[in-house]
């Protein structure tokens, strides 16, 4: 067990309180009270029966003392509920391990200098929103010169030659451009997630890339509000970035990863 994992004291609301990291549960008003809040919709008419149905579901989840905090009629026989309850379960925090991106934080000059020391050409980066996804704000923030929150996009770097393919790009079309341009990196943004369509679309892209012999020589990266590095690895990508990612984070990872692999 690491020193951090074995720590038994944490600072909580109201000052330092003893916390057993091998038995962690949610808290609301007081440490270890198990308080949780849930919100969901039910396909039942609004009324007291709908509220009791919500409480019954919470009890079936193993939650105790469920209380309906808010309920309103969504129309057409649907009800929206917000409930408070108490969770009796605990987790052993010391046994949790999550894959993370090993990347040193670098500014734009540091990234360009690292690239210049190891590469004789600019790295070709292709980005797109694929499938039916038409929400380009995320990929534009990473790639375009303007960037995001004062952090310039990849177009601002000497290290990269950037191709932003835009929205609703079919996976086959994207891979065709990868071959045509000799891309080093593919960035895919997925905002739309209904019925897990982002998972299906991303997994299909990797399957096609493997079938066409492109997977091993190209870095595949995905990003979006419901994406993370562990999920990206599960889907066959090299890396995944979640909400709030800065362009410089992506740029630093790309150059460092390619240096480690090829330079």
Q: Is the pLDDT of residue 4 over 50?
A: no
pLDDT by residue (tens digit) across 91-114? 999 999 888 887 889 999 999 999
Look at 8-17, 42-51, 234-243 and tell me which has the smallest mean pLDDT: 8-17
CA dihedral 101, 104, 109, 113 (to 10 degrees): -100
Residue 197: predicted pLDDT: 84
3-class secondary-structure state, position 53: helix
Residues 233-250: b if buried by 16+ CB within 10 A, e if exposed: eebbbbbbbeeebbbbbb
Residues 115-128: b if buried by 16+ CB within 10 A, e if exposed: beeebeeebbbbbb
Q: Is the pLDDT of residue 156 over 60?
A: yes
Q: What is the mean pLDDT of residues 28-44?
A: 95
Residues 68-80: b if buried by 16+ CB within 10 A, e if exposed: beebeeeeeeebb
Q: At what angle do helices 108-118 and 247-262 cross, to 10 degrees?
A: 20
CA distances from 147 to 105, 154, 260 (A): 17, 8, 26
Catalytic residue among 8, 105, 146, 152: 146
Q: pLDDT-derived band of residue 186, with 50, 70 and 90 as boundaries? A: very high
Looking at residue 122, the DSSP 8-state letter turns out to be P
Could you check whether 9-93 and 108-262 share the same CATH topology?
Answer: no
Active site residue 146: yes
Q: Which residue has the tokens 């309920």?
A: 71
Residue 192: predicted pLDDT: 74
Q: Is the pLDDT of residue 143 over 80?
A: yes
Query: Domain spans of the chain?
Result: 9-93, 108-262
Look up residue 9 and give its two tokens. 């004291």
- 24 touches 93 (CB < 8 A): yes
- Alpha carbon 224 to its chain centroid, in Å, reads 6
Look at 59-63, 120-124, 192-196 and tell me which has the smallest mean pLDDT: 192-196
Q: Is the pLDDT of residue 146 over 60?
A: yes
Residue 17: predicted pLDDT: 67
Q: Is the pLDDT of residue 11 over 50?
A: no
pLDDT by residue (tens digit) across 105-139? 999 999 999 999 999 999 999 999 998 888 899 99
CATH homologous superfamily of 108-262:
Cobalamin-binding domain (3.40.50.280)
- pTM summary value: 0.74
Residue 54: predicted pLDDT: 97
Residue 12: predicted pLDDT: 44
Q: What is the mean pLDDT of residues 58-62?
A: 97
- Alpha carbon 59 to its chain centroid, in Å, reads 30
CATH topology assigned to domain 9-93: Defensin A-like (3.30.30)
- 125 touches 161 (CB < 8 A): yes
* CA atoms within 13 Å, Cβ hemisphere of 136: 12
Nearest to 26 by CA among 44, 40, 12, 5: 12
Q: What is the mean pLDDT of residues 37-59?
A: 97
- 174 touches 126 (CB < 8 A): yes
Contacts of 8 (CB under 8 A, 6+ apart): 18, 19, 20, 21
Q: What is the mean pLDDT of residues 215-241?
A: 93
């Amino acid at each position: 067990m690491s020193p951090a994992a074995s720590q038994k004291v944490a600072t909580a609301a109201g000052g330092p309180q003893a916390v057993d990291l091998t038995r962690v549960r949610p808290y609301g008003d007081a440490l270890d009270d198990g308080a949780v809040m849930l919100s969901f919709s039910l396909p039942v008419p609004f009324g007291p029966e709908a509220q009791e149905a919500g409480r019954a579901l919470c009890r079936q989840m193993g939650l105790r003392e469920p209380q309906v905090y808010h309920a309103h009629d969504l129309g057409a026989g649907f009800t929206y509920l917000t409930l408070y309850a108490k969770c009796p379960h605990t987790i052993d925090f010391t046994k949790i391990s999550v894959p993370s991106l090993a990347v040193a934080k670098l500014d734009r000059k540091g990234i360009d200098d690292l690239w210049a020391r190891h590469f004789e050409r600019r790295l070709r980066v292709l980005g797109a929103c694929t499938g039916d996804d038409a929400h380009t704000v995320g990929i534009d923030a990473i790639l375009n010169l303007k960037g995001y929150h004062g952090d310039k996009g990849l177009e601002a770097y000497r290290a990269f030659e950037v191709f932003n393919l835009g929205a609703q790009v079919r996976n086959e079309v994207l891979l065709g451009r990868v071959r045509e341009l000799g891309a080093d990196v593919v960035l895919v943004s997925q905002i739309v997630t209904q019925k897990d369509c982002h998972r299906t679309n991303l997994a299909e892209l990797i399957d096609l890339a493997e079938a066409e012999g492109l997977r091993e020589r190209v870095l595949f990266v995905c990003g979006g509000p419901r994406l993370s590095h562990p999920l990206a690895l599960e889907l066959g990508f090299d890396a995944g970035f979640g909400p709030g990612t800065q362009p410089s984070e992506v740029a630093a990872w790309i150059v460092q990863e390619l240096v480690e692999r090829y330079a």
